[in-house]
Amino acid sequence: MKAIEILELSKLNLCCSLEGSFCNQRNSTLNYEEVDDPFFSIMEKDTMYQESRIIIKELAKKHNIKLPEFIKGSRAISEAVDYLTSDMGMNENQFTLQSYVRTVFNRFIDYLEDEQIDVQIVHVNSRIPDRLTFSHIKEDLVKCEKRFNEEDYSGAITSARSLVEGVCNEKLVNLNGEQLKDQPDLPALFKQVRMHLNLDTKNPKLEQPLKQVLNGLVNIVNGIAQIRNENGDAHHRRYEVNKHHALVVINSAKTVVTFLFNTYEYQLDKGILIKAK
């Protein structure tokens, strides 16, 4: 979907949500999300709105213009509605607010049309299984993408490192039944997990191509640990982290944790591993 289409649909969704909010004020038994535009689910609208924020922020930065306050302070459609109807003090009527929203979005749509450009949104794609049990693992995954979208590339790298560490810890707890008392550094932690999952590169039973892949994953984990130590938001940065650097670190981290999870599930199903009780 092109940037103009995303902005147009987000504009429509937000205006419909504003209308629903005013209907809700007139009838307290209604929920504005229930009387809202029927063509998009709440999740779809929020996803589209978040993408429109990225586009608007890119254009605002490029043209050196002030970012609209409700765009800056709202990450979801419901938050934008709340901001517009209360925080801005613009609650004269729904038509005033809808007109304001159209003006804001149309300004950036005009930039795209006049310059005949498109803003590409880079999605961090890699499916992470839903069955991870430690809540902070999912939180780190969300933080990776949130920080990346907000151009906090050093923070995204830190979250990517935490994601790998969290999955390694979870696998060890599943196998040993207890948390590690002394937390090793990431490469050492990854080595422990590999040993438990029968992924020792010195194992003569492993095929050579798999050993090469495992060595590649070892290098990835070592690199994630090192680049995080040198450029993560928890340390002084030795050099600037660019967008493509953060993207390859995040996707590499996801590749590692997905492989660990799938290997654990496979060996568990085959009876090679025994899960701790």
In angstroms, the CA 273 to CA 171 distance is 11
Looking at residue 227, its pLDDT comes to 86
In angstroms, the Cα distances linking 86 to 72, 90, 100 are 16, 7, 14
What's the pLDDT at 63? 84
Run means of pLDDT, 10 residues per run, the chain, 277 residues: 87 87 57 46 80 88 87 86 70 76 93 75 48 56 81 88 87 75 82 91 88 93 84 52 87 88 84 74
| Stretch(es) of the chain classified as CATH 1.20.120 | 135-269
Confidence (pLDDT) at 195: 92
Which residues fall within 8 angstroms of residue 155, CB to CB, at 6 or more apart? 143, 147, 232, 233
Give me the sign of the Cα torsion angle 186, 260, 135, 154.
Answer: positive
d(CA 76, CA 74) in angstroms, rounded, equals: 6
Inter-axis angle of helices 186-196 and 153-176, to 10 degrees? 40
In this prediction, residue 87 carries a pLDDT of 54
Whether the model pTM is above 0.75: no
Cα–Cα distances in angstroms (integers) from residue 6 to residues 50, 52, 74, 215, in the given order: 10, 6, 17, 42
Identify the CATH class of 135-269.
mainly alpha
User: What pLDDT is attached to residue 31?
Assistant: 46
* Per-residue pLDDT, 245: 87
Contact present, 121 and 54 (Cβ < 8 Å)? yes
Q: What are the DSSP E strand ranges found in the chain?
A: none
Residue pair 256/217 in contact by the 8 Å Cβ criterion: yes
Handedness of CA 138, 268, 264, 192 (dihedral sign): positive
On the 0-12 / 13-18 / 19+ scale of CB atoms within 10 A, 227 is buried
Q: What is the pLDDT of residue 72?
A: 85
The contacts of residue 77 (CB under 8 Å, 6+ apart) are 13, 14, 17, 42, 45, 46, 49
Count CB neighbours of 188 within 10 A: 11
